């Protein structure tokens, strides 16, 4: 039962961090719930490694804002890969017009 509780808590925390990353950038985002969760989980893992390296192995509550910053950076990079920018999410691959 411990593994299931860990996975559920990781998914919820990833969703929370991903939502913070999406809220920090203006404009609409065509990302779904699972993509937001995945961004949050990846950002949390990256922030944990950085905070662990900077603090010399001590855990810290600083990881939460750092994770939100990493989530913002990842979402910005996703927008740039779609052809958007800071305020424009760009055109997704499903909504491109045919010429």
23 located within any domain: yes
Number of H helices, E strands in the chain: 3, 0
Check whether 1 has a pLDDT greater than 70: no
Question: How many CA within 13 A on the CB side of residue 62?
Answer: 10
Domain that holds residue 8: 2-81
Angle at 52 between CA 58 and CA 1, to 5 degrees: 85
6 located within any domain: yes
14 located within any domain: yes
The kind and range of the H/E element at 92 are: none
Angle at 24 between CA 66 and CA 49, to 5 degrees: 20
- Number of domains observed in the structure of the chain: 1
30 located within any domain: yes
pLDDT, average across residues 46-51: 89
The whole model's pTM is what?
Answer: 0.79
CB 64 within 8 A of CB 14: no
76 located within any domain: yes
pLDDT in tens, 49-98: 888 888 887 767 788 899 999 999 999 898 888 777 766 666 655 555 55
Check whether 22 has a pLDDT greater than 80: yes
Pick the more confident residue, 89 or 17.
Answer: 17
86 located within any domain: no
Rounded distance between C-alpha atoms, residue 91 and residue 82, angstroms? 6
């Amino acid at each position: 039962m411990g593994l299931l509780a860990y996975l559920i808590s990781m998914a919820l925390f990833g969703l929370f961090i991903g939502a913070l990353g999406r809220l920090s950038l203006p404009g609409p985002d065509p990302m779904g719930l699972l993509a937001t969760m995945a961004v949050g989980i990846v950002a949390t893992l990256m922030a944990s490694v950085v905070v662990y390296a900077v603090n010399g192995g001590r855990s810290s509550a600083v990881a939460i804002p750092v994770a939100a910053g990493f989530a913002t950076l990842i979402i910005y990079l996703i927008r740039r890969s779609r052809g958007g920018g800071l305020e424009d999410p760009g055109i997704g691959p499903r909504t491109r017009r045919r010429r």
